[in-house]
Amino acid sequence: MPLPRSLSRRGFIRTASAAGASLLLPASVLAAPAAATNTVAGAVAGGDQSGMPGIAAIGTGVQPRPLVFGHRGASALRPEHTLASYAKAIVDGADYVEPDLCATKDGVLVARHEAFLSETTDVASRKEFASRKTRKTIDGDTHEGWFVDDFTLAELKTLRAVERIPQYRPGSAAYDGMFQVVTFEEIIDFVAAAAAAHGRIIGIVPELKHSTYFASVGLPLEERFLSIIAAHDYTRRNPLEIQSFEVANLKALRARLGSRANLRLMQLVITDKVRPMDVAAAGGTLTFAEMCTPAGLRDIARYADVVAPPTRAIIPLKKDGSLAAPSSLVEDAHRAGLRVEPWTFRPENHFLAADFRNGPDTARNEAGSIAEIKRYLATGIDGFFTDDPALGRKALAG
pLDDT per position as a tens digit, 5-30: 333 344 332 332 333 323 223 333 32
pLDDT per position as a tens digit, 364-385: 999 999 999 999 999 999 999 9
**CB–CB of 165/202 below 8 Å?**
no
Calculate the CA 225 to chain-centre distance.
14
Q: 212: cis peptide before it, omega within 30°?
A: no
| Residue 41 within a domain | no
Question: Is the confidence at residue 35, as pLDDT, over 50?
Answer: no
SS3 content of the chain, % helix, strand, coil (to 5): 35, 15, 50
| Residue 59 within a domain | no
Question: DSSP characters for 33-61?
Answer: -TT--SSHHHHHHT-----BTTBPPPPSS
Cα distance from N-terminal residue to C-terminal residue, the chain: 46
Would you put residue 156 in left (φ > 0), alpha (ψ -120 to 50) or beta? Answer: alpha
Residue 368 belongs to a domain with what CATH number?
Answer: 3.20.20.190
The contacts of residue 60 (CB under 8 Å, 6+ apart) are 48, 261
| Residue 320 within a domain | yes
Q: Which pLDDT score is estimated for 13?
A: 29
Q: Domain range for residue 229? A: 5-24+64-116+181-396
Q: Which band of pLDDT confidence, cut at 50, 70 and 90, is reported for residue 55? A: low
| Residue 176 within a domain | no
**CB–CB of 86/98 below 8 Å?**
no
| Residue 175 within a domain | no
| Residue 327 within a domain | yes
**Average pLDDT score over residue span 172-185:** 98
Overall number of domains in the chain: 1
pLDDT per position as a tens digit, 141-150: 899 999 999 9
d(CA 9, CA 181): 20
| Residue 133 within a domain | no
**CB–CB of 344/311 below 8 Å?**
yes
| Residue 261 within a domain | yes
Nearest to 124 by CA among 143, 104, 103, 99: 143
